Amino acid sequence: MATRMKLKLKTVFVLYFMVSLLGLIYALMQLGQRCDCTEHDIPKDRTISRLRGELHRLQEQIRKSEATKQPQKPPARQPTVFVITPTYARLVQKAELTRLSQTFLHVPQLHWIVVEDSPHKTPLVTDLLVKSGVTYTHLHMPTAKDRKLQEGDPSWLKPRGVEQRNEGLRWLREDRRAQPGGDNQQGVVYFADDDNTYSLQIFEEMRSTQRVSVWPVGLVGGMKYERPVVEGGKVVRFHTGWRPSRPFPMDMAGFAVSLKLVLSNPEACFDGEAPMGFLESSFLQGLVTMDELEPKADNCSKVLVWHTRTEKPKMKREEALHAQGLGSDPAVEV
Amino acid sequence: MPKRRDIVAIVLIVLPWTLLITVWHQSTITPLLATQKDDRRDGRSNSRNTFAFKESCSLQNRDIVEVVRTEYVYSRPPPWSDILSTIHVITPTYSRPVQKAELTRLANTLLHVPNLHWILVEDSQRRTTLVTHLLRDMGLNYTHLNVETPRNYKIRGDTRDPRIPRGTIQRNLALRWLRETFNVNSSQPGIVYFADDDNTYSLELFEEMRSTKKVSVWPVAFVGGLRYESPKVNTLGKVYGWKTVFDPHRPFAIDMAGFAVNLRLILSKPQAYFKLRGVKGGYQESSLLKELVTLGDLEPKAANCTKVLVWHTRTEKPVLVNEGKKGFTDSNVEI
């Protein structure tokens, strides 16, 4: 009698368990399914269909205007501007790269080469580049420990971005060598730091670079702007408040080099051992002489790029909270 | 022994049912998972709606390098849509060396946003040529206003009245302009956003705020001495508090860049302005918002306030030591 009772209980239990399991699986499958919320869908569907109608209308407009522009369009494509940007992880990195990408997105035929100062590619930069819509190449090259700025070091103590810019040049040379046309390719190489501000006109000015072109840079060298002084269409000297006796006393953002010159001088790169302020000169010295420089920006009289710097955000409260174990969620990317 | 078996049996019977009930409970009340999926999809499809581009991915042999080529058909600014609400961006600005740079990069951002109207209010006696020419050359849809903050001339020289936070009078002028220009009865949908000229805005932010019915809020990075400040949102999708360290008991503990207001609300409450005097530090935003909305009416955006889409960056004051007393550089060159 007792065993039969036990057996019955066992079967009941097993049946109950199976039913519960099936119910659970059913519920989990229901999770991914749509619910019956038609009253939310109808106005959204209406908006979607109106937007689609507008999209078709705009696409027609673009197609019509392209068709009329066709005979006037020049057969050759514009030379590509290759922008090399070294970047490193810090609080404002995502913000800086975001607003930089928003500027670059306006420039046609631009190829952004981002080189991270990191032993591997970070997901933050990877995702940002994918979402940005800009044509890009994502590289990485860590700076050697003894060459790296430590916390609390003044920004001028060690040169920054040297290994990263050289890596960008190395990749560019390797990539372009594989292209048809060899050393006769059209293009311009520009070194753009991630905290500067660029107007859209500067990219159009630099596109016609034959060797090395130069222009003024705002808010640099302890002055409102630094610029090359142009007489008779040629650069005769440089107007700068700091060490004007340097071979090329200008900022990284103040010049662009033609791709042809970069490819035909495969050893030209930035010298990390150069004294402070001579980084640009270490690169340009082997490439060009002062009278070969091409002045842009209306004979170097307009400021189209500014050497802005972003403040380090104050994290006192964050650090205090962190000590208490109550810091903000690190999973939220900033 | 049978007792233990019974307990085990009971637990095994009850467990699946509790799991079932909690799962059902979650799926009916919080549509979080659904909106998260939608968010990612919307982010991608949004960029495809505003510009047309062809994308072809080419992965090279070496897996360290990825070259993504996109052909971008762009028009600056994007064509005006009859369906999208207009975003009125109010930016107060003042003359300083970095002004042109800040306005240039802000304009480069705004040029991507469809149906945007930029209201730039200068803190000056007259509209400056720098800003006039910049606005004219950019091609944005804009309104150029100006009003000077009254200065209190102290013994040391002219310093602003410390009790009036910067930009207040300018923002109030823009609000007044909106009320004078738009009729509360007209059906023109619009959103009002206060954007300072040194912050950084992602393009996703503008699309998030477009669906504001009253006042929407989201997290802002680098404010209040934290990585980010954000509103506290419960599982029902309502704001119930503020995740800040600096005075979280303010009625609206949020930065200027962390909220947007529907234009109809601004027009229907014509007495709502930023309070000029007697406002404690950090209470500026509350002085306007408490006239417009209550905490329960706030709409959380940015995936229920879990994503950071705007950064309160500040630009360093440039070191101009080499200019000297008389100015080394030609003052006719505009920077």
Phi and psi (nearest 5°) for A80?
-80, 140
* Average pLDDT in chain B: 80
Q: Which residue has the higher pLDDT, B322 or A118?
A: A118
Distance, in angstroms, between B7 CA and closest chain A CA?
12
Chain B residues with CB-CB distance to A297 below 8 A: none
B33 contact A CB<8A: yes
Chain A residues with CB-CB distance to B23 below 8 A: 24, 27-28, 31
**Percent of chain B at pLDDT above 70?**
79
Residues A240-274: tens digit of each pLDDT: 888 888 899 999 999 999 999 999 999 999 998 88
Residues B257-293: tens digit of each pLDDT: 999 999 999 999 999 999 988 888 889 999 999 999 9
Chain B residues with CB-CB distance to A104 below 8 A: none
pLDDT at B48: 35
Split at pLDDT 50, 70, 90, the class of B52 is very low
Compare CB distances from A28 to B23, B33, B306 and report the shortest one's residue.
B23
Split at pLDDT 50, 70, 90, the class of A82 is very high
Beta strands in A48-140 (DSSP E): 80-87, 110-116, 136-140
Chain A residues with CB-CB distance to B112 below 8 A: 102, 105-106
A105 and A132 Cβ atoms separated by less than 8 Å? yes
Residues B201-255: tens digit of each pLDDT: 999 999 999 999 999 999 999 998 888 899 999 999 999 999 988 888 899 999 9
Note whether A313 contacts B112, CB cutoff 8 Å: no
Which residue of chain A is at minimal alpha-carbon distance from B311?
A95
Compare CB distances from A133 to B17, B47, B319 and report the shortest one's residue.
B47
Under DSSP, the state recorded for B256 is: G
A 231-290 → B contacts, CB under 8 A: 239, 241-242
Exposure letters B165-203 (e unless 16+ CB within 10 A, then b): bebbbbbbbbbebbbeebeeeeeeebbbbbbbbbbbbbb
Chain B residues with CB-CB distance to A199 below 8 A: 104
Distance, in angstroms, between A331 CA and closest chain B CA?
9
B 202-221 → A contacts, CB under 8 A: 202-203, 219, 221
Note whether A317 contacts B228, CB cutoff 8 Å: no
Residues A191-246: tens digit of each pLDDT: 999 999 999 999 999 999 999 999 999 998 888 899 999 999 999 999 988 888 88
> Which residues of B make up each annotated binding site for UDP-alpha-D-glucuronate?
92-94, 123, 166, 171, 196-198, 312-314
Nearest to A184 by CA among A158, A210, A219: A210
Residues B116-134: tens digit of each pLDDT: 999 999 999 999 999 999 9
In what order do the strands lie in the sheet containing B220-221? B200-201, B310-311, B220-221, B228-233, B239-243
Strand-pairing partners, residue A197, are A306
* Average pLDDT in chain A: 85
Burial of B216 (0-12, 13-18, 19+ CB in 10 A): buried
Mean pLDDT of A36-52: 72
pLDDT at A134: 92
A 139-178 → B contacts, CB under 8 A: 139-140, 171, 175
> Which residues of B make up each annotated binding site for Mn(2+)?
198
Which residue of chain A is at minimal alpha-carbon distance from B203?
A102
DSSP secondary structure letters along A212-272: EEE--EES-TTSSEEEEEEETTEEEEEE-SS-TTSSS---GGGEEEEHHHHHH-TT----T
Cβ contacts from A onto B, under 8 A = 221
pLDDT at B63: 39
Chain A residues with CB-CB distance to B225 below 8 A: 314-318
pLDDT at B318: 78
Note whether B318 contacts A239, CB cutoff 8 Å: no
B8 contact A CB<8A: no
Residues B169-189: tens digit of each pLDDT: 999 999 999 999 998 887 689
pLDDT at B176: 95
Specify the residue for token string 């823009």.
B174
DSSP secondary structure letters along A260-322: HHHHH-TT----TTSPTT-HHHHHHTTT--GGG-EE-HHHHTS--EE---BPPPP-HHHHHHH
Which residue of chain A is at minimal alpha-carbon distance from B106?
A99
Chain B residues with CB-CB distance to A334 below 8 A: 221-222, 227-228, 308, 311
Mean pLDDT of B91-111: 94
Distance, in angstroms, between A291 CA and closest chain B CA?
23
Note whether A54 contacts B83, CB cutoff 8 Å: yes
Split at pLDDT 50, 70, 90, the class of A7 is low
The answer, yes or no, to whether residue A162 has pLDDT greater than 70, is: yes
Mean pLDDT of A14-42: 74
A22 contact B CB<8A: no
Distance, in angstroms, between B28 CA and closest chain A CA?
9
Nearest to A253 by CA among A206, A186, A311, A185: A206
Which residues of A are tagged catalytic?
A: 280
Worst-scoring range by mean pLDDT, A131-145, B10-24, B102-116, B306-320?
A: B10-24
In order of their start, the domains of chain B are: 86-311 (3.90.550.10)
B 274-293 → A contacts, CB under 8 A: none
How much is the ipTM here? 0.78
Distance, in angstroms, between A289 CA and closest chain B CA?
25
